Structure 1
Amino acid sequence: MKHSRNMELPEDFWIPIALDTDNITALSPFLVPQDHLAGASTYYSMAVYMLFIFTVGTTINVLTIACTVQYKKLRSHLNYILVNLAVANLLVSVVGSFTSCCNFISRYFIFGPLSCKIEGFMVTLGGMVSLWSLAVIAFERWLMICKPLGNFIFKPDHALACCAFTWVFALLASAPPLFGWSRYIPEGLQCSCGPDWYTTNNKYNNESYVMFLFGFCFAVPLATIIFCYSHLLITLKMAAKAQAESASTQKAEKEVTRMVVVIVLGFLVCWLPYATFALWVVNNRGEPFDLRYATAPAVFSKSSAVYNPVIYVVLNKQFQSCMMKMLGMSGGDDEESTQSVTEVSKVGAA
């Protein structure tokens, strides 16, 4: 069902004008099931998916943090950033996915307007930390392999400073809707909350906030990731060409190439739908759209709580080995992981 947007705005939520009702409070997403927006099967399907994201995302990220605490060999500068990413993902899965699951089951936002603002803020905060952590990981690998600063060594103190930066910037990016620059309201099928992309009320200056988020919290991290990994690939390909007789160098170059492709694709799958939808709404005011399509970007962004740890942690042989040992399985030896990292470093230094 397609809807356009109304200009008479309730304080805490938004109702499409196409519903043609004189009593919008009667359709409040905080009071009644939103069955006028989609069928029950759609809500229950979303509930099942959110339960999956909550269960898997929480499990993987808790294991990541627990492994790092238990095994000293995981406490490297890069892994500090991976733990920072895990904490951000955990915030999204525990607060965002769990809340959305409960709401989709009930078919409306059962926790009330205040909880909506809290959930919107916490999920946006975790999402921004996650985005910038991905950019920091790319930056760290660029410094380590491409060595643009010569013999500069990326130390644990630098990693901790980068982690602190992600939280400070994320806080500056996610707090404004709490103080009047945009606002947090139910989005899509009204079962999760996020920044107000939809309305044109000058009181909240939503358009400028959307452009701010797109520029500094999507475009800049994406550009950083593409720049760093592009230079990394160029460096490795040049080294591999110079060492064509080295099978290990060729293997390292291929592994890193696959890693870069997966990382960039994972980033785009998680965040491009959300950024694209927000920009489309801002630049097409008054155009009708299906609210189910408005829900999909929010769902994809919350899915990053699973995608990110799978890409960055579970596929990391060292983390994988420690997780298996922690779970009582045969973790094997992580010499292959250490050898791979060493080989990539040698390639970069060549």
Structure 2
Amino acid sequence: MTLNSFDNRTVSAFTSKLSPAADICVGLTILSIVVLSVLGNGLVLVICYRRRRKMVGSELLCVNLAVVDFLSCICFYPLSIMSSFHHTWLGENITCVYYGLGCYTFGLCAMFTVAAISIIRYLKTCYSLVYAVWLEGANIQLVCCVIWLVAAVWSSFPLLGWSEYVPEPYGLSCTVAWRGYHTSAKDAFYVICSFACFTMVPVLLIVVSQCRILYKLSRFSKSLSARGIRNNLKHTERCLSVMFFCISLGVVIAWAPYAVVSFLFIFHKESQYMAPEGFVFPALFAKSSHIYNPFIYFYFNKTFRRELRCLLLPLWPTLGARAKATQCTAAATLSPAGWCAPAGGPRRKRTPTILDNKVARGSLSVSI
């Protein structure tokens, strides 16, 4: 089906199927998501820019995820907010394609980025000696470019007639025509590939990688305890593992309801048995994935907290004493201590332990 098929679609497809009160609630919810995401991810991007010369290569993936979340809320969601307040999709065909293409592209980028973070974290934790050199610098930049290229190419196929972008059942958003599964063989193939290759495979990679990381760290910690060796990096390992586990789990949980509902919608020919609200709540829940990553960074990352005080100091001078006590300067290069060090000042120098030597030999890595 081509974009010209929109001409044969009635205007009612772009009219909200929700009540006016529900439309306002949807609009206010998306507006809240946009405000929180722009503030949180904007701060992340500003802080990363301030310490851009000290960033390690693998941090670019976190920056890439923040860019995806920030641009999604700036470029696309305002259209959905205004449409909710007007009880109809504004712009009809053109804006529907624009919104569907953009949201699908950025959604794929977010999923691929989290999968890449999980895989790289797994390789550097379990096979640091082999992959440590490869997983830095220009190679990570190449990974980011590949992520955007693959997402852009795959999401562009509906513009060429392979599937299409259509209004969602409740009328206030646009996405891939998942019901194309019933219209033609090529559309069905696109839908199947979208779910199998670009949803299920990344999710499986995320889950398997995170489970392997937790297993590796747990086994390593038990091995040290059995030999009576003090685990000086236990706190750092736990912080890093929990942080990246939260990021990965958050994305999977946020998008799982929407994926399930879309999957059911594909194979259920009679959509009237599915209420419009059944599509709204999963869509809003998926959009919430743009919010919580900045809070995870600020909670686990001492460097981000210190830089945040530097940014807020001119606005709230009462933070001055605390900022001075924590040496509010340009952030140091990201390190295990930078991510998870206690709030109370730098640690004293100590002599290397057996665990440090083991980490240096590549048996265990605690970097991103």
Deviation at 1:254, TM superposition (A): 3.4
Q: Give me the TM-score of the superposition, normalised by structure 2.
A: 0.79
Contact residue 301 and residue 339 of structure 2 kept, 8 A: no
Contact residue 68 and residue 109 of structure 2 kept, 8 A: yes
Deviation at 1:150, TM superposition (A): 2.4
Q: Is 1:96 equivalent to 2:90 in the alignment?
A: no
Give the number of the structure whose alpha-carbon radius of gyration is greater.
Answer: 2
Q: Which amino acid aligns with 1:105?
A: F
Equivalent position SS for 1:109: coil
Q: Is 1:285 equivalent to 2:269 in the alignment?
A: yes
Q: Is 1:174 equivalent to 2:155 in the alignment?
A: yes
CA distance in 2, matches of 1:210, 1:231: 30
Q: Which amino acid aligns with 1:309?
A: P
Partner residue in 2 for 1:265 = 249
Q: Which amino acid aligns with 1:210?
A: V
CA distance in 1, matches of 2:145, 2:151: 10
Q: CA RMSD in A?
A: 3.0
Contact residue 91 and residue 123 of structure 1 kept, 8 A: no
Q: Is 1:274 equivalent to 2:287 in the alignment?
A: no
Partner residue in 2 for 1:49 = 29
User: After the TM superposition, which of the residue ranges 37-46 and 299-308 deviates more from structure 2?
Assistant: 299-308
CA distance in 2, matches of 1:116, 1:183: 10
CA distance in 1, matches of 2:124, 2:146: 19
Contact residue 197 and residue 278 of structure 1 kept, 8 A: yes
Partner residue in 2 for 1:311 = 296
* Residues 150, 261 of structure 1: alpha-carbon distance in 2 compared, 3 angstrom cutoff: closer
Question: Any runs of at least 4 consecutive aligned residues in structure 1 with deviations exceeding 6 A, and if so which?
Answer: 334-337, 342-345
User: After the TM superposition, which of the residue ranges 272-281 and 338-347 deviates more from structure 2?
Assistant: 338-347
Deviation at 1:199, TM superposition (A): 4.8
CA distance in 1, matches of 2:115, 2:76: 22
* Residues 200, 224 of structure 1: alpha-carbon distance in 2 compared, 3 angstrom cutoff: closer
Partner residue in 1 for 2:6 = 12
Contact residue 47 and residue 100 of structure 1 kept, 8 A: yes
Partner residue in 2 for 1:64 = 44
CA distance in 2, matches of 1:191, 1:281: 17
Equivalent position SS for 2:175: strand
CA distance in 2, matches of 1:243, 1:327: 42
Residues 2-151 of structure 1 mapped to structure 2, 5 A cutoff = 11-12=5-6, 24-25=10-11, 27-29=12-14, 33-34=15-16, 37-72=17-52, 75-147=55-127, 150=130
Q: Which amino acid aligns with 2:250?
A: G
Give the one of 334, 337, 340 matched to 1:339: 337
Q: Deviations over 1:228-264 (max 9, x none)?
A: 2222112211221122252533333433453354234
* Residues 299, 209 of structure 1: alpha-carbon distance in 2 compared, 3 angstrom cutoff: farther
Deviation at 1:309, TM superposition (A): 3.4
CA distance in 2, matches of 1:43, 1:87: 28
* Residues 346, 95 of structure 1: alpha-carbon distance in 2 compared, 3 angstrom cutoff: same
User: After the TM superposition, which of the residue ranges 255-264 and 270-279 deviates more from structure 2?
Assistant: 255-264
Q: Is 1:159 equivalent to 2:140 in the alignment?
A: yes
Contact residue 213 and residue 241 of structure 2 kept, 8 A: no
User: After the TM superposition, which of the residue ranges 301-310 and 175-184 deviates more from structure 2?
Assistant: 301-310
User: After the TM superposition, which of the residue ranges 157-166 and 72-81 deviates more from structure 2?
Assistant: 72-81
Partner residue in 1 for 2:171 = 190
Q: Give me the TM-score of the superposition, normalised by structure 1.
A: 0.83
CA distance in 2, matches of 1:200, 1:235: 42
Question: How many aligned positions are there?
Answer: 328
Q: Is 1:300 equivalent to 2:276 in the alignment?
A: no
* Residues 96, 231 of structure 1: alpha-carbon distance in 2 compared, 3 angstrom cutoff: same
CA distance in 2, matches of 1:215, 1:39: 35
Residues 204-215 of structure 1 mapped to structure 2, 5 A cutoff = 205-215=186-196
Contact residue 127 and residue 363 of structure 2 kept, 8 A: yes
Equivalent position SS for 1:77: coil
Q: Deviations over 1:272-303 (max 9, x none)?
A: 11221121112222252111111222222222
Q: How high is the sequence identity, in percent, across the aligned residues? A: 21
Contact residue 82 and residue 312 of structure 1 kept, 8 A: no
CA distance in 1, matches of 2:138, 2:250: 28
Q: Deviations over 1:302-350 (max 9, x none)?
A: 2222133333566433223223322325553678964266999939735
Deviation at 1:209, TM superposition (A): 2.0
The answer for unaligned runs of 5 or more in structure 1 is 1-9, 16-23
CA distance in 1, matches of 2:131, 2:165: 46
CA distance in 2, matches of 1:227, 1:180: 35
Deviation at 1:84, TM superposition (A): 0.9
Contact residue 104 and residue 155 of structure 2 kept, 8 A: yes
CA distance in 2, matches of 1:54, 1:72: 25
